[in-house]
Amino acid sequence: MAICNSLSVRFLVLLVAVVFAAACGTSSAEDSTASERRARPPVIDESRPKIVAFGDSLTAGFGLTEKESYPYLLQKRLEKDGFNYEVVNAGISGDTSLGGLERIDWVLEEKNVEILILELGANDLLRNVPVEKMKENLDRIIRKAKAKDVEVLFCGMLAPPAVGEEYQREYVNAFADLATEHDVRFVPFLLENVALNKDLNQADGIHPNAKGTVIMTDNIYKELKPMLGKTGR
């Protein structure tokens, strides 16, 4: 889970892409009411074990149809492989670690939640939230999940060099440190093999298109599959 200290120039550019990709829909999210932010995600069948996709615009599926979003694609992948989990899309565009902390209890109240895919933090960077505060919020989310015996798949975020060497180092390390501290599975870069590829992104060059989201789902499923238990068979 360690982050390599020497990064290529191209990879540093990719860092910029992932930060802005996760931050989409900020203005619309800021206009949301408190009740909307805390709304429970829709659940189809309470008897099935649940995987909750919890995050910001990358999870919500900004600019995509519901059937093109990664939670939907993940559901189909699970069904194809014979797993009986229900994937719940609990993504809100523009959400921050604080927003996630404010609504995580509602999500964890759903019956039979077994796995939480946690993808938050990029909007904290854009809003200059101190790294320690962001880390504290994410830490509390993970602790709340584990207190409910919910396993966590943690998606790390990456900061561009423009924020300064010290902030960049602290920000990137915060995710890896939390993953190590809590001994949870970790996806360091959700948009690996997607960012900056115009054929895999929407017209804004930021958000994955339908093809890019398929690859993003692959990145998640690679780490998720070893977590799937017998209850999902």
Domains of the chain in sequence order: 24-29+43-228 (3.40.50.1110)
Residue that wins the pLDDT comparison between 35 and 88: 88
Residue that wins the pLDDT comparison between 162 and 65: 65
pLDDT of residue 42: 52
Over residues 176-195, the pLDDT tens digits come to: 999 999 999 999 988 888 98
- Which regions of the chain does DSSP assign to beta strands (E)? 50-55, 86-91, 113-119, 151-155, 185-187
Is 97 annotated as catalytic? no
CA gap 97, 120 in Å, rounded: 6
pLDDT of residue 160: 79
Q: 157: closest CA among 181, 141, 143, 177?
A: 177
Is 8 annotated as catalytic? no
Place of tokens 């949870």: 184
* Section 153-165 average pLDDT: 88
Choosing from 45, 81, 105, 204, the catalytic residue is 204
Task: Give one word for 114, left, alpha or beta, with left for phi > 0 and alpha for psi -120 to 50.
Answer: alpha
* Range name among 72-81, 97-106, 182-191, 200-209 with the lowest pLDDT average: 200-209
Angle separating helix axes 70-80 and 210-224, nearest 10 degrees: 50
Helix (H) or strand (E) holding 54: strand 50-55
* Section 103-114 average pLDDT: 96
Output phi, psi for 42, to 5 deg: -65, 140
**pTM of this structure:** 0.82
Is 27 annotated as catalytic? no
Choosing from 56, 93, 97, 207, the catalytic residue is 207
Choosing from 45, 47, 57, 149, the catalytic residue is 57
Q: Is the pLDDT of residue 18 over 60?
A: no
